[in-house]
Amino acid sequence: MRGAAMSLTAAASGFVVFLLSVSVIQGQYGWRVTYTSTQICAFKGSKVEIPCRYTYPSRIKGLDTKVEKRFWFTELGNGETVDLTTISEYTQRVQYHCENNDCTLRISDLRERDSAEYKFRFTTNQDVKYIGSPGVTLSVTDLQVQVSRLEVSNWAELKCQSSCPLPGHPSYVWYKNGQNIQGQTSDSYSASFDPADSFSCAVRGHEDFPSPSVVIQGQYGLGVTYTSTRICAVKGSTVNIPCSYTYPSSIGGVATTVKEIFWFIQQFVDLKTVSEYSGRVQSESNNNDCSLRITQLRKRDSAVYKFRFTTNQGLKVQVRKSSNQTELKCQSSCPLPGHPSYVWYKNGQVITGYTSDSYSASFDPADSFSCAE
């Protein structure tokens, strides 16, 4: 692809963005290296191709010119030019496809630390070592879902962001709880959410490189982040599902402590208590790490797994007394979304017919009351 000011190349090998047109580096007597692009943006985990073409005089002082060595490199801190294929961190990830006067660098399984300026160098029997400089700047990115605005308690504005600019006007794909949200193609998405809902995004055509999934728990910095929303594992093997969670250190002057953490599939039932997962499930609980480990995988383990945690900043019953009547109020330390319905309990039994956040009752000194959303 040459001469195009801005274009997008999509291939099974990965995601490549060419941002600038041809850059020509020319020396005297016809020595030249031409890079198709000077800036490339590629997805983490994908494969990138960086092409170049080089020329040199066929003869100098009656002697035929022959290329003796050619390779790609990134400059090390000491200014050395070291062939990428000899560097351990590029082992088995770098290939050169050189034919005639074209030489393409291929890097697979891209990592963020691969972001660098890549240059091509060739040497000849004419005692000339020629480097195409400046080279090609590669930026390796992954997508992130950012909560850019939270206007109402159960509404969030999400934005799909990358660390390097994508060309033109790419189309996006949004996922809610792992399912495609039809009709959403913009890089931003406004959504109402349930505390257990997770959201992620991808560039259309490159759905194999989605963002980590983010669970929006509401205001006050509560949140859960899943590193991946889709995991494929072999029957009988062990799978690790990484996740992390955050919460404010305090709310309203009260220190926040985590009371309960667990993974579930449905109905908020801790997987560790489910018989078919007995002895096969482990989860982390240190330093906000909530990774889940499942061993001896079975086909029926295929499901959407979610993480839940509760804190001491939950519902509290406020009591106001008047003669033999007690007015109870179910309060939370932060605003609950929408218009929730409540459940009241007296001595551990549900009080039917009461769904508001307040309850007036006559009481016996031994009676106990509690509430739930």
pTM tops 0.85: no
Share of the chain above pLDDT 70, in %: 78
Same domain, 194 and 264: no
Domain boundary among 296, 311, 326: 311
pLDDT reported for residue 306: 84
- What is the three-class DSSP state of 65? coil
Same domain, 362 and 249: no
Pick from 73-82, 92-101, 108-117, 303-312: least confident:
73-82
**Mean pLDDT of the 272-291 span:** 87
Q: Is the pLDDT of residue 180 over 80?
A: yes
Question: At 321, which CATH number?
Answer: 2.60.40.10
pLDDT reported for residue 319: 56
Q: Is 2 within a domain?
A: no
pLDDT reported for residue 23: 35
Domain boundary among 213, 230, 247: 230
pLDDT reported for residue 238: 93
Pair type for strands 136-141 and 39-43: parallel
Same domain, 13 and 119: yes
Could you tell me if 346 and 321 are in contact, meaning their C-beta atoms sit under 8 angstroms apart? no
Same domain, 240 and 220: no
Q: Is 117 within a domain?
A: yes
Could you tell me if 52 and 70 are in contact, meaning their C-beta atoms sit under 8 angstroms apart? no
pLDDT reported for residue 97: 93
Same domain, 243 and 212: no
Residue in this structure with the two tokens 């931003």, named with its chain if needed: 188
Residue in this structure with the two tokens 């290939």, named with its chain if needed: 95
Q: How would residue 150 be classed by pLDDT, with cut points 50, 70 and 90?
A: low
pLDDT reported for residue 293: 93
Same domain, 209 and 119: no
Q: How would residue 174 be classed by pLDDT, with cut points 50, 70 and 90?
A: very high
Q: Is the pLDDT of residue 314 over 50?
A: yes
pLDDT reported for residue 18: 32
Same domain, 193 and 113: no
Q: Is 103 within a domain?
A: yes
- Sign of the dihedral through C-alpha 70, 75, 76, 78: positive
Pick from 44-58, 149-163, 193-207, 347-361: least confident:
149-163
Same domain, 348 and 366: yes
Torsion of CA 26, 32, 36, 40, to 10 degrees: -70
Q: Is the pLDDT of residue 57 over 60?
A: yes
Same domain, 156 and 126: no
pLDDT tens profile 298-313? 988 988 888 888 777 6
151 vs 34 pLDDT, higher one:
34
pLDDT reported for residue 271: 92
Q: Is 98 within a domain?
A: yes
Q: How would residue 117 be classed by pLDDT, with cut points 50, 70 and 90?
A: very high
Q: What is the DSSP letter of 57?
A: -
Q: Is 105 within a domain?
A: yes
Q: Which residues pair with 351 in a beta bridge?
A: none
Q: Is 1 within a domain?
A: no
Q: How would residue 136 be classed by pLDDT, with cut points 50, 70 and 90?
A: very high
- What is the three-class DSSP state of 257? coil
Same domain, 133 and 73: yes
Residue in this structure with the two tokens 């170049």, named with its chain if needed: 52
Same domain, 15 and 114: yes
Q: Is the pLDDT of residue 7 over 70?
A: no
- Within 8 A by CB and 6+ apart from 352, the residues are none
**Mean pLDDT of the 343-368 span:** 78
33 vs 250 pLDDT, higher one:
33
Q: Is 120 within a domain?
A: yes
How many Cβ atoms are within 10 Å of 104's Cβ, its own excluded? Answer: 17
How many Cβ atoms are within 10 Å of 185's Cβ, its own excluded? Answer: 14
Domain boundary among 209, 230, 251: 230
Same domain, 13 and 108: yes
344 vs 293 pLDDT, higher one:
293
For residue 203, the enclosing domain spans 142-230
Q: Is 337 within a domain?
A: yes
**Mean pLDDT of the 271-288 span:** 87
**Residue 84 backbone zone (phi > 0: left; psi -120 to 50: alpha; other: beta):** alpha
Average pLDDT value over all residues in the chain: 78
pLDDT reported for residue 3: 33
Query: How many domains does the structure of the chain reveal?
Result: 4
Q: How would residue 326 be classed by pLDDT, with cut points 50, 70 and 90?
A: low
Q: Is the pLDDT of residue 320 over 80?
A: no
